[in-house]
Amino acid sequence: MADRRRLIALAYIAPAALVYIGFAIWPAIHTVYLSFLDWDGILPATWAGLDNYRAIFTDSMLGPSLWHAIVLILFFAVIPCALGLFMTALLQGTTRGMTTFRVIFFLPQVLPLVAVGITWRWLYNDEGLVNQGLRAVGLGGVTRAWLGDYNLALIALGFIGTWAMSGLCMVLFLAGAQKIDTSLYEAVAIDGGGPVRRFFVVTLPALRGEIAIASVITTIAALASFDLVFVTTNGGPANQTTVPGLLVYRLAFNESNIGGAAALAVVLTLVVIVFVTAIRRLTREKP
């Protein structure tokens, strides 16, 4: 009787599970299968074994794209989290007017990245706000079309991520810091600890969970980025800003190399899983 009820309970899950399996899980498995094929999308496919995976490590395009995505983690995840923590240390306890600030800081989170990208194309333009600002402070010598600069385009792209992600980290950390028991701070004060000690002994450990979450979200955004790169640099100049997402799209839908695209997608997913697992390990509560 109880088992029958537990079977019937599955009926509630069935519609969601069917859509999820049919349009997410099955395609994911199918991608793994395609990654072992040599297929142009039209003619019959042939078995390619590990060739597509080998190509990722030998091809002059594919390997660097993974490296670029990992560099972006610095700008999408590391800097925003560090900035968020610094601001939390600085602002902790400020409550008046925070709602307005929170609304502003969070704004980049809800915007379509395509529009964010177009906005920053303009800001980084020869005549854009960034160069205008540099000229205004007497740094006219370093102005350039940032997204077209061979050495700096990836960094310029990264700072768009910093702009978009810092607010999320800050809002998460400030909310977490509000839950910290103030008596802990008093205890540190009694021991003669200053604000720096207070931050490292109380705040940082207390925000472990929030730091884990913020790092996971922002790291995935860096590794799996597509929209932003597609509209800002489209991988240029000279492939200096290619990312895996961009090449998956290009290989599969412009160059008819379905197997290669699938293999890159699988490797990208594995990289995401490795990073997410590492972050979870590092931030786990020590027993």
Partner 1 sequence: MNTTRTAATARYLVLTGMAVAVLLPFVSIVLAALHPSGSQISGLSLPESWTWSNFADAWRAANFSNLVMSSLIIAAGVVPLALVLATLAAYSLATLNPLGGRAISIGFVLGLTLPIELVVIPLYFDLRQLGLTNSYLGVILAETALFMPFGVYWMQTHFASIPGELLEAARVDGARSFTILARVLMPISWPAVTTLGLLYFMWSWNQFLLVIVLMQDPDMRTAPSGLGFFVGQYSTNIPLLSAASLIVIGPIVVLYLIFQRNFVSGITQGAIKG
Quote the least distance from Cβ 60 to partner 1, whole Å: 21
How many CA within 13 A on the CB side of residue 60?
A: 3
Give the integer Cα–Cα distance in Å for 148 and 283. 38
Site for partner 1 in 69-88 (CB under 8 A): 87
- Using CB under 8 A, which of 40, 109, 181, 284 touches partner 1? 109
Considering only residues 141 to 180 of the shown chain, the ones binding partner 1 according to CB under 8 A are 163, 166-168, 170-172, 175-176
* 208 touches partner 1 (CB under 8 A): no
Binding residues among 16-55 for partner 1 as defined by CB under 8 A = 16-17, 19-20, 22-28, 30-31, 34, 41
The nearest distance, CB 73 to partner 1, in angstroms, is 14
Binding of partner 1 at residue 274 (CB under 8 A)?
no
Q: Are 145 and 232 in contact (CB under 8 A)?
A: no
Instruction: Name residues whose C-beta falls within 8 Å of residue 107's C-beta, 6 or more positions apart in sequence.
Output: 167
- The interface region with partner 1, picked from 60-68, 74-82, 100-108, 197-205 by CB under 8 A, is 100-108
SS (HEC) of 13-27: HHHHHHHHHHHHHHH
Q: Are 80 and 171 in contact (CB under 8 A)?
A: no
Closer to partner 1 by Cβ: residue 98 or 184: 98
Nearest alpha-carbon partner for 129 in 98, 107, 159: 159
